[in-house]
Amino acid sequence: MIGLPLLEHWLEEFTDDAGMTIKSVGLVFSMVRGNVPRRMAEVMEDLRNERGSEVFSALLSESIDVSTSVEEHLPVFRYKPNSKTAAQIENITKEFLART
């Protein structure tokens, strides 16, 4: 996992140069496959172990409901209110609110 430290390093350099501070709300797993491949599951678990509560409990799975909601110009929870993706969005939003 080198992407995350690189991203954080870049952010730190930029905010230092600009004389500002920002804080992380958290990390969200997105486009998670239904049957998570073993290697990916390991990476997700490693990240949760390393970063603890920084990683959102809620995640967003890969779903056709997303692409069809784009075509309808509606958020998933309005396009398909009782879907798994809608529930995931609602959970992420609740967690987002609790963290901000």
Partner 1 sequence: MQVISFINMKGGVGKTTLTVNVACGLAYLHRKKVLLVDADPQFNATQYLMEDDAYLAHLNDPAKGTLRDIFVPRRPGPVNTVAGTSKSVNKKKMPLSACTASIFDGGDGRGKLDLIPSTLALMEIETSKRGTETKLRSYLQEKAASYDFVLIDCPLLFQFSAKRPF
Catalog residues that contact partner 1 under the rule CB under 8 A: 3, 6-7, 10-11, 14-15, 18, 20, 22, 25, 28, 30-31, 60, 62, 66, 70, 73, 75-78, 89-90, 92-93, 96-97, 100
Determine the Cα–Cα distance for residues 41 and 21; give it in Å rounded to an integer: 33
Determine the Cα–Cα distance for residues 27 and 42; give it in Å rounded to an integer: 16
| Residue 75 C-beta: closest distance to partner 1, Å | 4
Nearer to partner 1, 31 or 41 (CB): 31
| Residue 100 C-beta: closest distance to partner 1, Å | 6
